[in-house]
Chains A and B, each alone.
Chain A
Amino acid sequence: MSTVIEARNVHFHYTPGVPVLTDVTLSIGPGATAIIGQNGAGKSTFVRLLNGLLKPVSGTILVNGVDTRTQTVASLARTVGLVFQNPSDQLFKSRVIDEVMFGPLNLGFSRDEAEARAREALAQVGLQGVETRNPYDLGLAERKLITIASVLAMGTSVIILDEPTIAQDHAGVRRLGAIVDELAAAGRTVITITHDMNFVARHFRRVVVFGQGRVLDDGDAASVFSRPDILHQTGLEAPQITRLAQALALGETPLTVEQFVDLVRRRLSGSA
Chain B
Amino acid sequence: MRVSLYVPADTWLHRLDPMTKLLMAAAGVALTFVLARIESGAVLLAIFFTVLGTGRVLRQAGSVFAGVGIIAATFLIVQGLVHPTNATPLIILGPVVFYKEGLLIGLRLALRLYNILSATLVLVLATNPADLTEALVRRGAPARLGYVIMSVLQIIPTMVAQSAAIADAQRSRGMETEGSLWVRVKAFLPLMGPLVTSSLIATEERALALEVRGFGSSARPTFLKPEVRPPHAGLVRFLCVLTLAAGVAGRLLLGW
Contact = CB atoms under 8 A, between A and B. Distances in A.
Do A and B have CB atoms closer than 8 angstroms in the complex?
A: yes
A90 interface: yes
Interface residues of B, number: 22
Given A102-B190, A136-B197, A90 B169 contact: yes
A74 B176 CA distance: 5
A81 B201 contact: no
A91 B190 CA distance: 9
Which of B168, B169, B173 has the most chain A CB within a 10 Å cutoff?
B173
Interface residues of A, number: 26
A82 interface: yes
Interface in A41-93: 48, 51, 53, 72-74, 77-78, 81-82, 84, 86, 88-93
Nearest to B196: A92
Contacts of B170: 90
B10 interface: no
Contact of A91 (B165, B175, B178, B194): B194
B201 to A, nearest CB: 6
B169 A77 contact: no
Contact of A88 (B168, B192, B197): B197
A106 interface: yes
Contact of B173 (A86, A88, A150): A150
A103 B169 contact: no
Contact of A77 (B173, B190, B194, B201): B173
A151 interface: yes
Given A88-B201, A92-B193, A92-B194, A107 B166 contact: no
Contact of A73 (B162, B171, B192): B171
B174 A78 contact: yes
A53 B168 contact: yes
A73 B167 CA distance: 11
Main secondary structure of the interface of B (DSSP, over half): helix
A154 interface: yes
Contacts of A93: 193
B194 A89 contact: yes
A154 to B, nearest CB: 7
B158 interface: no
B229 to A, nearest CB: 38
A72 B172 contact: no
A109 to B, nearest CB: 10
A154 B174 contact: yes
A53 B169 CA distance: 9
B173 A151 contact: yes
A103 B193 contact: no
B60 interface: no
B42 to A, nearest CB: 41
B172 A92 contact: no
B154 interface: no
Nearest to B198: A88
Given A77-B174, A89-B194, 8 more contacts: A53-B168, A84-B168, A91-B193, A92-B191, A92-B197, A106-B174, A136-B197, A154-B174
Top 5 A-B pairs, shortest CB-CB distance: A92-B193, A106-B174, A88-B198, A77-B174, A90-B169
18 contacts: A51-B172, A53-B168, A53-B172, A73-B178, A74-B174, A74-B176, A81-B172, A89-B162, A89-B166, A89-B194, A90-B173, A92-B190, A92-B191, A93-B193, A102-B175, A103-B174, A106-B176, A154-B173
